[in-house]
Structure 1
């Protein structure tokens, strides 16, 4: 009888251990599935006869990374308000505005590059702070406030530039940042990586990051434990404006000119990357590492599909499909996290 009990216990322990192993494997797949897909696609496009040679060339890798540097920083700007429970649809327009401010400061007023960059960053902080006041202080609907600001800024950019580019007297040092490399790595990629590290530190290693997520998770509970919810919400938009304006400076460095573009074309890839970040690594939460993976996932997919002969419209279709997939999976992921909790 004792032996039978021991056998049953052994079977139970074995089943439990197998269940834990199964759950552990499922968690790994769930948390890193998008990363696995990125690696698989990269390898596939690198070895396919139609795309392999061009895809794995140094020139293509450098161009792919450099072209995504600005988009990554725009996506990083979304993280602060998203952690606090908001979507900021103005980040693309703020980036475009900062680009025009920096270019105008050098071209029209002859300011040195450091002063032009400072004015561009100040413009971003000003817009972000204004949005923070509208949303946090005056309880304006964030969708309406940020979309309205994006529309306003886009109109102001077109009115000022009259649809023309600003190319005169742009600092050579700034354009070198967007076009040259250091030891084979595009300088603009290193600059965006530095921004990513700072955002990661603020969101993951400081009390500010914990307050942001606390407010975004449950503002009422955060207020009850002493968090100044209004201040945190305002700061989230101000930081979003600051990072978005950094993207605008990098955009000027990359293009060598400021255009009349409203910046909306940068918004949707950034949204896609941020929503994808919530289904990888830190499930249910936007994260810097997840955003980097999301940006690379879309960039590698579009680049590879283009090289294998996909038509020119594939980029827009893929971005739209990826955004829908990311929003849907993020919604399912949040429900799953809530159930587990």
Structure 2
């Protein structure tokens, strides 16, 4: 008599392999790590510094980063088409000079100054588009050249001196105009207690997100950035869309210039110089948000908020200003690690 053999299959373990668990954890860290870093820093400063928790401080933080964030949105658009606009800081500085000249030197109203600044930004974007699309100069080299041309040109226009109300001009006469109260409210005004620059930043962020994520034009920009040759073979006018990205970037940079001009209240010749690095940083940091590994509007906005949290928190703690650069650089490196790790995993 033979013994009965069991026909039941061995029970499968419901516990995932150690390797699979580690992979899931790694993916979660890559996807949500940057958001967690932002939240952790916010909680650290909020719990350790009472002044940081005040609503006025938080609104001032957003107001402070609004210029870099708006410039970063323009950089994000150019990154979407596979480029990089290095002239945004210079264009913002040009906007400050144009606004000051229009109101102080030519004694025009604020509305005229706003239109002149936006036109200057559009022309700067067209110059970049001409160099990149028509003359086929690489994006970064072309926009670096534009940056130096704009910085030098605005100095030539004002004889290297800042434009201030009541200044003596080169011909010995006194400048007749001033910054109008309405224009100054672009930075110093509030609506329902919210600073105007914060509202501008929020509105432009939503508009840029709708454009990039919810319209055909935005999807086309991403397609060009991913593979311009494939986009061209699909019948897309690659040159026209790339030109559009740089013109819009120039206009956004000029909006940042308007806020800077209203903030400073004079035509400071050095305005916009420091904005380039912050704008590029927030756009690059944004690529790591949710592990997307590509430029995106909400990532750029969150990157700007993080920079603001770091700057405000370290300032309240009384740390020297130069430590902020070290911390911001470390955060940028961390964000790029998240972003490029995700990208390599996708292409592996």
TM-score (norm 2): 0.88
Note the 1:249-288 alignment, pairs <5 A. 249-261=258-270, 263-281=272-290, 283-288=292-297
Shift in Å, 1:295: 1.0
Q: Which residue of 2 aligns with 1:222?
A: 231
Of residues 117-126 and 14-23 in structure 1, the stretch that sits farther from structure 2 once superposed is 14-23
Q: Which residue of 2 aligns with 1:156?
A: 153
SS of the aligned residue for 2:136 comes to: coil
Residue ranges of structure 1 left out of the alignment (5+ in a row): none
Q: Is the 8 A contact 1:277 1:287 kept in 2?
A: yes
Distance 1:77 1:233, change over 3 A: same
- Any idea what the Cα deviations from partners look like across 1:207-232, whole Å, max 9, x if unmatched? 11111111111111111111111111
Shift in Å, 1:113: 2.0
- Any idea what the Cα deviations from partners look like across 1:182-238, whole Å, max 9, x if unmatched? 232212101111111111111111111111111111111111111111111111111
Report the structure, 1 or 2, having the larger helix content: 1
Please give the alpha-carbon distance, in whole angstroms, between the structure 1 residues aligned to 2:229 and 2:155. 41
Runs of 4+ in 1 over 6 A off after TM superposition: 17-22
Q: Is the 8 A contact 1:129 1:237 kept in 2?
A: yes
Note the 1:30-49 alignment, pairs <5 A. 30-48=30-48
Q: Does 1:206 align with 2:203?
A: no
Q: Which residue of 2 aligns with 1:165?
A: 163
Which of these residues, 52, 57, 60, is aligned with residue 57 of structure 2?
60
Note the 1:94-173 alignment, pairs <5 A. 94-161=91-158, 162-167=160-165, 168-173=177-182
Shift in Å, 1:82: 0.6
Shift in Å, 1:321: 3.2
Note the 1:273-312 alignment, pairs <5 A. 273-281=282-290, 283-312=292-321
- Any idea what the Cα deviations from partners look like across 1:212-269, whole Å, max 9, x if unmatched? 1111111111111111111111111111111111111121222222210152310111
Which of these residues, 90, 93, 97, is aligned with residue 93 of structure 1?
90
Q: Does 1:82 align with 2:91?
A: no
Shift in Å, 1:23: 5.6
SS of the aligned residue for 2:107 comes to: coil
Please give the alpha-carbon distance, in whole angstroms, between the structure 2 residues aligned to 1:17 and 1:332. 22
RMSD: 2.2
Please give the alpha-carbon distance, in whole angstroms, between the structure 2 residues aligned to 1:178 and 1:229. 37
Higher gyration radius (CA):
2
Q: Is the 8 A contact 2:30 2:291 kept in 1?
A: no
Q: Which residue of 1 aligns with 2:346?
A: 337
Residue ranges of structure 2 left out of the alignment (5+ in a row): 1-5, 166-176
Q: Is the 8 A contact 2:291 2:338 kept in 1?
A: no
Shift in Å, 1:18: 9.4
Please give the alpha-carbon distance, in whole angstroms, between the structure 1 residues aligned to 2:164 and 2:78. 31
- Any idea what the Cα deviations from partners look like across 1:68-124, whole Å, max 9, x if unmatched? 111110111101111001111001101111222122222222333222211211111
Q: Is the 8 A contact 2:310 2:328 kept in 1?
A: no
- Any idea what the Cα deviations from partners look like across 1:139-183, whole Å, max 9, x if unmatched? 112222111111111112222232323445212112123113223
